[in-house]
A = this chain, B = another copy of it.
Amino acid sequence: MLIGVLASPTDKRVGIIPESVKKLSQQGFSVVVESGAGEKAYFPNAFYEEMGASLNSREEVLKQSDILVSVEAPELTELTALGDKKIVVSLFNPLVETEFVSQIQSLPIHAFSLDRIPRTTIAQSMDVLSSMASLAGYKAVLVAANHLPGYFPMLMTAAGTIPPAQVLILGAGVAGLQAIATARRLGARVSAFDVRSAVKEEVQSLGAKFIEVEGAQEDADAGGYAVTQSEAYKKRQQALIHDQAVKSDVVITTAQIPGRTAPILIFKDTVDSMKPGSVIVDLAAISGGNCELTQNDKIIQHKGVTLIGNSNLPGEMSNHASKLFSNNCVNFLSYIFPEGKGELDLENEIVKGTLIS
């Protein structure tokens, strides 16, 4: 089967990196790459050729390939123009882009959305969301540290003592945990909050303080994802988060509920009372943001507080992000097409979870 790797016009990542080309050919796939697809991720065309991939124009790649891989979903027109039985692997974000997805469902193609890989142990090697969330958590701290007009670590110097930065992480999923680890590395004091109480142990295992609000709803069937919470709980939570945020130099929010707008955790009056110079990084910006004032893909200043709503931090780390995406993708392809060919096992949990059309 021929795998076609498409460039992503607005994303710096690429779906398959040169290293993976080799692995795929060993498994019986051949690979054709849209010229320049890896450029922004620092994988020039030459690297692909070295590994045995052929280069071609976007049109040719779309036409020739049996399987199309792209970080950004291809245009609807492009998908419509595809022949029968073609397979498209990408991030379709079906819970949000419902309209787009319903349109492609009528097409005679198999579209796999890698962001729907189930969060089970066996599927972890294909779990793009985990890989990307981890990158985002790391990067969020770096961005915050870069915007903070001061040090993260404590320093006792001849020109006075610099206290350690206070960092508050809201939502301790994969991104939140990675953010905790990174902030702690840089020497900050870190506290974290999450509705899922199971996370407490995980937060503490990284040396951060867990802020507890009593009475959270939990749903064991939600597959690790959070569920919406009661009103009384939300009040208590809001007060506690306000108190913590006001004391913090950096707040990083990662709270998301799949398929819904993100919960608002930081309200305007909290931002108003924060120290001038503080920084908020909102990783939930794309689904509305955890902060009332967040604007997606914008950096704004509000009364001396910097609010960063970058929704694609992994894209900023295009090289490693592509590497991880590519590995996930290879694992996925070799899982659903063992030895480079074969029919789809539509009963398989992973196939069922990711197949959106």
Contact = CB atoms under 8 A, between A and B. Distances in A.
Interface of A: 12, 41-44, 124-125, 127, 130-131, 134-135, 138, 142-143, 145-146, 148-151, 153, 155, 157-160, 162, 182, 185-187, 275-277, 304, 316-321, 323-325, 327-328, 331
Contact of A158 (B125, B151, B157, B317): B125
B143 A146 contact: yes
A175 to B, nearest CB: 14
Contacts of A325: 159
How many monomers of this chain does the complex have?
A: 2
Contacts of A135: 151
B277 A149 contact: no
Contacts of A131: 157-159
A157 B134 contact: yes
Nearest to A38: B276
A350 to B, nearest CB: 14
Contact of A150 (B44, B134, B149, B319): B319
Contacts of A145: 142
Contacts of A182: 186
A319 B44 contact: no
B153 A185 contact: yes
- With most chain B CB atoms within 10 A of its CB, the pick from A43, A127, A182, A316 is A182
Nearest to A41: B149
Nearest to A151: B320
21 contacts: A42-B149, A42-B276, A42-B304, A44-B304, A125-B159, A127-B159, A131-B158, A134-B155, A142-B142, A142-B145, A143-B146, A149-B319, A149-B321, A150-B319, A150-B320, A158-B328, A159-B323, A159-B324, A159-B325, A185-B185, A185-B187
A276 B319 CA distance: 10
A185 B331 CA distance: 32
Contacts of A42: 149, 275-277, 304
Contacts of A41: 149
A12 B147 CA distance: 13
A222 to B, nearest CB: 21
A138 B12 CA distance: 28
A276 to B, nearest CB: 4
Nearest to A147: B316
A71 to B, nearest CB: 14
A317 B148 CA distance: 7
Nearest to A132: B159
Contacts of A43: 276
B317 A150 contact: yes
Nearest to A127: B158
